[in-house]
Amino acid sequence: MKAQVILVNELDQETGLMEKMEAHEKGLLHRAFSVFIMNDQGDMLLQQRALDKYHSGGLWTNACCSHPLPGEAVEAAAHRRLSEEMGFDCPLRELFQFTYRTEFDNGLIEHEYDHVWTGTYNGAIQPDPGEVQAYHYLPVNEIFRLLAEVPEQFTSWFRLAFPRVIDQLRV
């Protein structure tokens, strides 16, 4: 069975289900989440998406992101994918939600109602090579510098969410 996403309206109310690739081809708004992980030194975990991902392959982004399965709570999905993609889990808390739309060169469209989660983790990382090309922790100031100098090396949703995540964590 092909993966499905949960279609939503602008209030994140479920309106139906659709096969994931079809939703990305049509650019329909669907529920998603992004997980941002910090370590005790205040550095952020970045992953470089695997080169053969259906979009944004090779770009740097937050620890993980995906879509909840039909009937799955967003928090449960965030824990599931963090474990599947990065090989660890940790306590998470939701920071905010936002909606974005990005068109890619391959014709796909990300139109997501994104729930943004954060957590702290200092242990071993065992990423799935089918999902993650590389990873490392970077100081927040270094990420701001890279975003200013080479924004094209980062995913669209990371560029949008990162400054707000940092603002929320500093409160």
Distances in Å between the alpha carbon of 34 and those of 57, 106, 136? 16, 22, 17
In this structure, which CATH number among 3.90.79.10, 3.40.190.10, 2.160.10.10, 3.20.20.140 belongs to the domain 4-170? 3.90.79.10
For residue 158, pLDDT beyond 90: yes
Strands 132-139 and 43-49: antiparallel
Q: What average pLDDT is seen over the chain?
A: 94
Query: What number is the average pLDDT over the span 42-49?
Result: 96
For residue 55, pLDDT beyond 80: no
Q: Which two tokens stand for residue 51?
A: 């080169």
For residue 116, pLDDT beyond 80: yes
pLDDT number for residue 2 = 84
Contact 21, 55 (CB under 8 A): no
Query: What number is the average pLDDT over the span 46-72?
Result: 88
pLDDT number for residue 52 = 79
65 has catalytic annotation: yes
For residue 156, pLDDT beyond 80: yes
Comparison of pLDDT for 13 and 169, the residue scoring more: 13
For residue 1, pLDDT beyond 70: no
Contact 59, 153 (CB under 8 A): yes
Among 10, 22, 65, 90, the active-site one is 65
For residue 142, the one-letter residue type is E
Phi, psi at 70, each rounded to 5°: -55, 130
110-61-71 Cα angle (round to 5): 55
Among 25, 110, 112, 152, the active-site one is 112
| Domain segments of the chain as ranges | 4-170
Band of the pLDDT at 104, cuts 50, 70, 90? confident
Query: What number is the average pLDDT over the span 101-106?
Result: 88
Contact 110, 99 (CB under 8 A): no
Which strand (E) or helix (H) includes residue 148? helix 140-149
112 has catalytic annotation: yes
Q: Write out pLDDT tens, residues 74-85.
A: 999 999 999 999
The pTM for the full model equals: 0.94
Q: Which two tokens stand for residue 75?
A: 């928090």
pLDDT number for residue 142 = 97
